[in-house]
Amino acid sequence: MRRLFFIIVFLTSFQTVAFAQEKNNLSDAQEFALNNSIYVLYHEIAHLLISKLDIPILGREENAADNFATLMLLRAETEQTDNVLIDSAYGWFLSSENADTEVYSDDELYGEHNLDIQRAFQIVCLMVGKDPDVFGEIANEVGLDKDRQEDCEDDFKQAEKSWDRVLAPYVNEKPDNLKINIRYDRGYGLVSAGALLRDNKFFESAIDNILRKYKLPSQPNMRSKECHEANAYYDSWTGEILFCYELVDDFIQMYEKNIAE
């Protein structure tokens, strides 16, 4: 019941932001799916950097990757990247709520990721930790305690300092022309999901916003396709980030089932 309350109030804040943003040619469901997909891609880019640059990680790599994605999006300081974070936190809250259980299964508890609801709160914590004036209202609405909100400033500073320190030796003074292979495979059953990524320069934008800032020892690859599962991952063996159209479609379904009227 407590979580359901969070979802309802979060929906209220989400809609406020959605109304404020400039409408483009995407439907609300497509925009929600694209924003959640962008967050997942940034998370996978963190795995790529950790692997290719042999970055030491203290604690869980999955949490570090989430923090990296949130930090990079917060630093961009655009309306679009703020909306990516809001939609992604909302997506994790919905995913948690849709689990429809008060008891967590063993595989959720021993899994490599934090619980969905913890991932949602951690995004909001770093948001309010960076800028309470901008994100304080959202933090209040999702039920992040005032004392915790104040501590989130330390969480944000620590995450930012840690990532900056480990990445400092690899920063490019000016963006290089590292060749990165990108492939948007044809979708067969999920043509629109493929078109959503391709038409919005999904990989190209993330490469320009993040990857070109760092010296990579070898060429990475990025590919999207149908995979028969809703997933995205970095394969350290091939050096490839694979993004499945089924995951994009899952986000569309999530929006249509939970948010669309």
List interacting residues with Zn ion (CB under 5 A): 62, 65
For Zn ion, the closer of residues 65 and 123 by Cβ is 65
CB of 11 to Zn ion, least distance (A): 27
CB of 9 to Zn ion, least distance (A): 28
For Zn ion, the closer of residues 139 and 247 by Cβ is 247
Sheet holding 240-244, edge to edge: 181-184, 221-225, 240-244, 232-235
SS3 assignment for 73-130 = HHHHCCHHHHHHHHHHHHHHHHHHHHCCCCCCCHHHHHCCCCCHHHHHHHHHHHHHHH
CB of 183 to Zn ion, least distance (A): 21
For Zn ion, the closer of residues 125 and 241 by Cβ is 241
d(C-alpha 256, C-alpha 261), whole Å: 8
d(C-alpha 247, C-alpha 261), whole Å: 22
CB of 243 to Zn ion, least distance (A): 13
Sequence-distant (≥ 6) Cβ neighbours of residue 78 within 8 angstroms: none
For Zn ion, the closer of residues 60 and 183 by Cβ is 60
d(C-alpha 226, C-alpha 220), whole Å: 20
Is the Cβ–Cβ distance between 227 and 206 less than 8 Å?
no
For Zn ion, the closer of residues 46 and 139 by Cβ is 46
CB of 40 to Zn ion, least distance (A): 9
For Zn ion, the closer of residues 167 and 195 by Cβ is 167
45: closest CA among 214, 226, 170, 190? Answer: 214
CB of 67 to Zn ion, least distance (A): 12
